[in-house]
Chain A
Amino acid sequence: MADGQETHHRQGLTRREFLSAAGRLAALAVLAPSSASVLLSGCARGGKRLSRELVVGSLSIALDADVQTLDPAMHRSRTVEAVVRNICDGLVARDAEMRYVPQLAANWEVEGEDRWVFKLREGVKFHNGDSFTAEDVKFTVDRIIGAIEGVPPSPRKDLLGPVTGAEVLDPQTVVIHTEGPYPILHKKLVFQEICPKRYFEEVGPDEFARKPVGAGPFRLVEWSPGERIVLERFADYYGGSPDIPPTGPALLQGVIFRPLEEAATRIASLAAAEVGVAVNIPADQAASVEDLPGARLSVAQGTRTHFVGMNLTRKPFSSPLVREAMRYAVDPKPIVEKYLLGRARALPGILVPMAFGWDSSLPAPKQDVGRAKDLLRKAGYADGLRVTLDCEASDKRIAEAIAGSMKAAGVQADVRVWKKDNLLNQLRRRERDLFLTSWGNSSLDPSGILPVLFRSDGYSNFFGYRNPVVDRLLDEADGAMSTEERRQKYVEVQRHLHRDIPTCFHLALEELYGVSEQVENFEARPDGMLPMHDVSLKS
């Protein structure tokens, strides 16, 4: 600053100085209000007192991700869903064995091919005292499929498949219409929670996302973003699905969800008894949870499949021989036992055994070095194959284990790590040749994974896989109202995939949760949901 120049112009401003000062002032006027609005709204929040019973009788749960919204229709996050499911019930729910049971619906039947008639449970109240009626169901469905003017588009729209709208027959009866047959509507409805129409219209979408009201076992009392979500037992709860006993109000006084993204922090918080449940414990840290005094590990088979995929549109994986060689090159044994400490299962195909239509006749994956080398030689790679195996950062260790196991068969794979979104985009553009990625399918229905990945026009067909027979089978399965017929179609699709080999290695990881001994009746679930209605604390 201490330059002598400016002292010459002390008496008056030069034109240049004037212009630059005016420009700066204008820009200040542009940006200043923003900072002021931030500061002012920061001062406007009020604190809240929580009752002593709630503080003492609550269970704290460490989540592995933050929650950005509590609006059931405005997210694509399993964590948000796990929290919201305790505030808002849906028409259909799943029990611990992943069976579909009516929740806010009393029952349903399918009329013709495209009309699902739902009879609703009576005497159900939302947290604000409003009664639950067919209008709320219609509103919820219409909002998700984008049939309401002025409401932002929902990222959950595709989860309702070909649903075209809902119609109120009487306060306790609602019809959901689909375009053509959609035999799995009830399975898809577990992903949607019912929102109260009157309250939503009264407060608007922004307020609703912060202070949702539902008909679930707990009501929201406090949400400090990034810190905690406090739910309190809803005394007037209708009791929940009779198919998931016990019914009645929740046993806990409250539930506190805390986002603790670092696994080490979640385990430390469990050790310090700051939380009673810690979700998503990595396989390599499972032992440290088992060693904790006063805590145990709860295990569920996961619904997400990790797989090694190949790009069929270019060399070397356009050759069926090379793809088959890849299948025999990988050795599942050390990957599962050494790297994942037995906390996973190698699968013959993309579906997990729990899924509807799983083909149990496919052979278990097994390394066969001689056969792999032979196939490579026939494909013109007698000296072996050198490739890059792309993966996202969290899968690096598994990718390295896979690459290591393929060396014996003459496949030299260099692991390359990407940011998750970045890899996903490249895969969708089919820019990668060999990749390890994963796909979650918590609906446990093949319709949630097979058409997306393997239909010729699948949104995430990373492989460039085209098989008109598979396309036809998938379409037929979509519309087949007979369960057995659908199962058969999906079995056939799996056999085609086994022959065509767009993917050569499949792995299902276990879901591991750390649970305090003080917590009763809580177990990890394959779908990652955290229903707290039946959970209690030892007195």
Chain B
Amino acid sequence: MLSRFLGRRLLQLVPVLLGVSLIVFLTMHLTPGDPIEHMLGQAGRVTPEQIAELRSHYGLDRPLATQYWFFLRHAATGDLGISYSHHGRPVSEVVAERLPATLELTLFAFVLALAFAIPAGIFAALRPQGLFDRLATVGALVGISLPGFWLGIVLMIILGLRLHLLPISGRIGLGMAPETITGMHILDAALTGNAPAFWSALKHLLLPGLTLAAPMAAMVMRMLRSSMIGVLEKDYVQFARAKGLPETAVVGKHALRNALIPTVNIVALQTGLLLSGNMIIETVFQYPGLGKLAVDAIAAADYPLVQAVVLIYATCYVLLNLGADVLHVVLDPTVRTAPT
């Protein structure tokens, strides 16, 4: 049952990716800006022949439909083309260099957000309108309202410049990079037991991670709080209490599981937003990830690179939503028996 559901959802990825690639392809080609002009910058005596030569080298002289078909055909063999702004380097290689950094930052922010949001949401729900709830609500409102770049700069000034607690840019200290296994420094350092590298990576992750996690933590915490309050009023919770179950079991086992069902969808949506938040946060903290790469690629009209990054984002979105639906099925038995 579940595998059939999974299979169908995975198949849906295909039209989504095709659609996204077509939209990105058309948008990039229709927006003003020419990769060759960008490449030549303010070159002095460029002849039309020289421009034509570069254009044909990058296949830009062909009709749009041919270019798109070319892209699809090559993508099928794992070749995402060559990047214009990285002067002829394969796109897959350029993207692969940056992907681990973004995955690391996103996962870190994800863990950070949930580590705060889940306990805070539960505690706030246990005593609605209590002191903790009020404080958490104010905190959450601030977290949702503050624009990421502003929060990032303020954290940078306070924790980095005034208190000298954290480095303000980069991924890891000079010469400290651990042996590469996954490309995610903090994970690689943990896997190889390299403590100095682990701390260095952690310190570098904290500022961008906190900035990125803040809105997600706030949203998830608010969602969990309200669904938890709803669940705690349900009869079966009262019944569990009447049975004499300890409060930890009532809340942790009976109430939380049900309160998590609507929260899971919010978590998936917010994780998707983490990916887009990367674009801003990575620019503020000069964090060498996919988000910053995408911003630079758009500015340089680097069609193949933008295409590849957006396809990766789209895949992540679809997979995240799929993950949420699967979790939904696991958490909620009524979904399992319902006709799908």
Contact = CB atoms under 8 A, between A and B. Distances in A.
Q: Do A and B come from one complex?
A: yes
B32 A421 contact: yes
B170 interface: yes
Interface stretch (B107-115, B222-230, B232-240, B307-315): B307-315
Contacts of A66: 296
A298 B78 CA distance: 49
B175 A55 contact: yes
Given A226-B293, A274-B168, 11 more contacts: A25-B14, A30-B75, A34-B78, A35-B315, A38-B96, A45-B97, A76-B40, A226-B289, A228-B170, A268-B161, A451-B45
A421 B34 contact: yes
B323 interface: no
A274 B43 CA distance: 34
B182 A30 contact: no
A59 to B, nearest CB: 11
A153 B33 CA distance: 21
A81 to B, nearest CB: 11
Closest 3 CB pairs of A and B: A226-B288, A50-B175, A33-B78
B2 interface: no
Interface in B20-35: 21, 32-34
22 contacts: A24-B11, A27-B17, A34-B76, A35-B311, A37-B92, A38-B95, A42-B99, A45-B97, A45-B183, A55-B174, A68-B85, A68-B86, A74-B87, A76-B39, A76-B40, A225-B288, A259-B286, A261-B286, A269-B169, A422-B32, A459-B43, A459-B47
A206 B284 CA distance: 30
B87 A68 contact: yes
Interface in A28-72: 28-31, 33-43, 45-52, 54-55, 58, 60, 66, 68-69, 71
B156 interface: yes
A265 B38 contact: no
Given A28-B14, A209-B88, A227-B288, A268 B171 contact: no
A272 interface: yes
**Which of B42, B92, B178, B285 has the most chain A CB within a 10 Å cutoff?**
B42
Interface stretch (A154-162, A350-358, A396-404): A154-162
Interface stretch (B50-58, B122-130, B253-261): B50-58
Interface stretch (A1-9, A85-93, A320-328, A499-507): A1-9
Interface in B39-83: 39-47, 50, 53-54, 57, 72-73, 75-80, 83
Contact of B98 (A68, A226, A268): A226
Contacts of A225: 94, 97-98, 288
Contacts of B75: 30-31, 33-34
Contact of A268 (B42, B100, B160, B182): B160
A42 B168 contact: no
B168 A421 contact: no
A77 B339 CA distance: 60
A159 B170 CA distance: 35
B43 A158 contact: yes
B45 A161 contact: yes
Contacts of A419: 32-33, 299
Interface in B182-199: 182-183, 188
Contact of A265 (B11, B164, B169): B169
B164 A28 contact: no
A106 interface: no
B340 interface: yes
B40 A2 contact: no
B157 interface: yes
Nearest to A46: B180
B319 to A, nearest CB: 11
B44 A272 contact: no
**Which of A4, A41, A226 has the most chain B CB within a 10 Å cutoff?**
A226
B152 to A, nearest CB: 10
A319 interface: no
B177 A47 contact: yes
A128 interface: no
Contact of B92 (A34, A153, A155, A256): A34
A434 to B, nearest CB: 20
Interface string B134-170: 0000000000000000000100110011001001111
A2 B160 contact: no
A27 B15 contact: yes
A271 interface: yes
B332 interface: no
Interface of A: 1-2, 4, 6-7, 21, 24-25, 27-31, 33-43, 45-52, 54-55, 58, 60, 66, 68-69, 71, 74-77, 146, 152-153, 155, 157-159, 161, 205-206, 209-210, 224-228, 230, 256, 258-262, 264-265, 268-269, 271-272, 274, 419, 421-422, 424-425, 439-440, 448-449, 451-452, 459-460
Given A27-B18, A28-B11, A269-B168, A228 B92 contact: no
Given A69-B86, A75-B87, A274-B167, A42 B97 contact: yes
Contacts of B90: 206
B89 interface: yes
A262 B180 contact: no
Given A2-B339, A47-B179, A260 B169 contact: yes
Contact of A58 (B12, B100, B174, B308): B174
A24 B78 CA distance: 17
Contacts of B38: 421
Given A31-B17, A45-B180, A256 B174 contact: yes
Contacts of A451: 44-45
B338 interface: yes
B283 interface: yes
B313 to A, nearest CB: 12
Contacts of A36: 78
B250 interface: no
Contacts of A71: 87
Given A33-B76, A459-B46, A54 B175 contact: yes
A432 to B, nearest CB: 13
Contact of A34 (B45, B46, B100, B311): B311
Contacts of A37: 78-80, 92
Contacts of B87: 68-69, 71, 74-75, 209
Contacts of B182: 43
Contact of B283 (A47, A158, A258, A262): A262
Nearest to B77: A33
A235 B270 CA distance: 52
Given A1-B340, A268-B156, A262 B284 contact: yes
